[in-house]
Amino acid sequence: MEIVSVTKGTGPLILSMPHGGTHIPEALRARFNNLGCAVPDTDWWMDQLYNFGTDLNATVVKANLSRFVVDLNRDPSGQSLYPGQTTTGLCPTEVFDGKAIYNEGEEPDEVEIEDRRGTYFAPYHHALDAAIADAKAAHGYALLYDCHSIRSQVPRLFEGDLPNVNLGTHDGQSCAPGMQVAITDVCQAQGGFSFVANGRFKGGWITRNYGQPARQVHAVQVELTQCSYMMETPPWTFDEEKAEQLRGLLRPMLEAMTGWATANLRAIA
């Protein structure tokens, strides 16, 4: 099993899918309880939902391992991205609802966590680094779109129902202001899906680490409610009819992102 799969495109757009994998190495699986083996916090079907990415000449970087092995969207130092708020760590020991995923006494210690940083965390980020470098070499800039989804109700993480589409730009720091406006305008012009920018989800470590507009790397995170395109309970069935409706918003969002970049970044690349 490859840790990361890369489908190369020729454009400046990179679709990052860090939480879509479900594989757990066998030695580690033996230490998980039934809940952990079921990997319920997966960002299900990201590659299928964004299957139009190749039409946009995007490079797709997809994790194949479960986030329960290592969370590729957490600060590798272990520092919380949302101080004071409940969240899961670099090597999670519980699901979003707070229930344990390991058999008692089988949780990773600091030595093992450090090993996972090198073995599992680093390859994904090496792949992102390479994709960004290739985009900048070819176009003068790179556009990183981090693909995520979550259940619409997770009381331990947020109150009530989450908006369908949650744009995160680290409060405007990870991309050019005009790019955020272009994406936001698309979301506000439609009425089918609720939307918020920089609400509960402002962008994880990928968005915050790579989004450096001054260096011509513009990054956004989009967290979707899973009820918008799939069944939110096992067996997590993909709903093609719902997905196609959601693609009717996602594709214009990505086109707004790339269109704004084409019009505004090429001259200063």
Domain boundary assignment for the chain: 4-264
Mean pLDDT of the chain: 95
Q: How far apart are CA 168 and CA 19, in angstroms?
A: 16
Per-residue pLDDT, 268: 47
Per-residue pLDDT, 88: 81
The fraction of the chain above a pLDDT of 90, given in percent, is 93
- Residue-wise pLDDT for 249-262, tens only, equals 999 999 999 999 99
Contact 164, 196 (CB under 8 A): no
Q: What is the DSSP string of 112-179?
A: HHHHHIIIIIHHHHHHHHHHHHHHHHHHS-EEEEEEEEE-S--TTTSSSPPPSEEEE-TTTTSS-HHH
Per-residue pLDDT, 82: 72
Residue 60, SS3 per DSSP: strand
CATH ID of 4-264, from 3.40.220.10, 4.10.220.20, 3.40.630.40, 3.40.190.10: 3.40.630.40
Model confidence at 86, pLDDT cuts 50, 70, 90, reads: low
Per-residue pLDDT, 38: 98
Per-residue pLDDT, 269: 43
Residue 233: how many CB atoms within 10 A of its CB?
11
The fraction of the chain above a pLDDT of 70, given in percent, is 96
Q: How far apart are CA 117 and CA 94, in angstroms?
A: 18
Per-residue pLDDT, 155: 93
- Residue-wise pLDDT for 177-207, tens only, equals 999 999 999 999 999 999 999 999 999 999 9
- Closest among 63, 12, 75, 74 to 39, alpha carbons compared: 63
Residue 55 in this model has a pLDDT that exceeds 50: yes
**Angle at alpha carbon of residue 217, lines to 61 and 173, rounded to 5°:** 110
Per-residue pLDDT, 1: 80
- Residue-wise pLDDT for 211-220, tens only, equals 999 999 999 9
- Residue-wise pLDDT for 94-153, tens only, equals 999 999 999 999 999 999 999 999 999 999 999 999 999 999 999 999 999 999 999 999
Model confidence at 45, pLDDT cuts 50, 70, 90, reads: very high
